[in-house]
Chain A
Amino acid sequence: DAGITQSPRHKVTETGTPVTLRCHQTENHRYMYWYRQDPGHGLRLIHYSYGVKDTDKGEVSDGYSVSRSKTEDFLLTLESATSSQTSVYFCATTDYTSGNTIYFGEGSWLTVV
């Protein structure tokens, strides 16, 4: 298994507060992704990165920002959390060096009350 660690794994926060989720990888993969998983919607891409300081928006990016200052770390920030952002968030990585296999972290459960 690829070394992908997400933190925190579980968090409850209040509406309007900022929240940062961290993804740390030890595989030196170039590509990193943040997905959210909701019932009936599968995995939807929030933001992705194709290198240090190179990021772009996915299909559900409103209300989220990301940063990647090092190859191994990809941060997802909810600028002002809303109840609609209650979800399970997955970080994923890939690279041609791993045969393009997408590796997922174990998920971060976020509840916004």
Chain B
Amino acid sequence: GENVEQHPSTLSVQEGDSAVIKCTYSDSASNYFPWYKQELGKGPQLIIDIRSNVGEKKDQRIAVTLNKTAKHFSLHITETQPEDSAVYFCAAFETGGSYIPTFGRGTSLIVHP
């Protein structure tokens, strides 16, 4: 099955800095890579995703990059704000195939004012 490794487990930055979270996956059949943000006491919510036919995607201050050859993808947050503080999860799975999402262990992002 798929295995997703996520680093770092904790990331502390100053407001206005950039934050980068990295994930690697093992199954070359995976073709969909979403990122989720989880606030305290709530369920994870999708913030951005990327498919295997795309190398980069941006949405305002958030971007995701994918390197299929190396089997890794990254979340980039620029100009961080205190409200970005949360736990972030990456995931990988094969749509049209097994449809079993595998998640990384999560990164706790802390943005200091």
Contact = CB atoms under 8 A, between A and B. Distances in A.
A80 interface: no
B2 to A, nearest CB: 10
Interface string A39-80: 011111100101000000011000000000000000000000
Contacts of A105: 43
Interface in B58-113: 89, 91, 95-96, 99-106
A45 B49 contact: no
A101 B43 contact: no
Contacts of A103: 46
Main secondary structure of the interface of B (DSSP, over half): loop
Contacts of B105: 40-42
Interface in A64-112: 90, 92, 94, 96, 100-107
Given A102-B34, A104-B45, A94 B99 contact: yes
Interface residues of A, number: 25
A31 interface: yes
Main secondary structure of the interface of A (DSSP, over half): strand
Nearest to B104: A42
Contact of B91 (A90, A102, A106): A102
B56 to A, nearest CB: 18
B45 A31 contact: no
A94 to B, nearest CB: 7
Q: Choose among A33, A48, A102, A106 the residue with the greatest number of B CB atoms under 10 Å from its CB.
A: A102
Interface in B9-49: 9, 32, 34, 36, 41-46, 49
A100 B106 contact: no
B101 A94 contact: yes
Closest 4 CB pairs of A and B: A104-B43, A42-B105, A43-B103, A100-B95
Interface of A: 31, 33, 35, 40-45, 48, 50, 58-59, 90, 92, 94, 96, 100-107
Interface of B: 1, 6, 9, 32, 34, 36, 41-46, 49, 89, 91, 95-96, 99-106
Given A41-B105, A102-B101, 7 more contacts: A42-B105, A43-B44, A43-B103, A90-B43, A96-B96, A102-B36, A106-B43
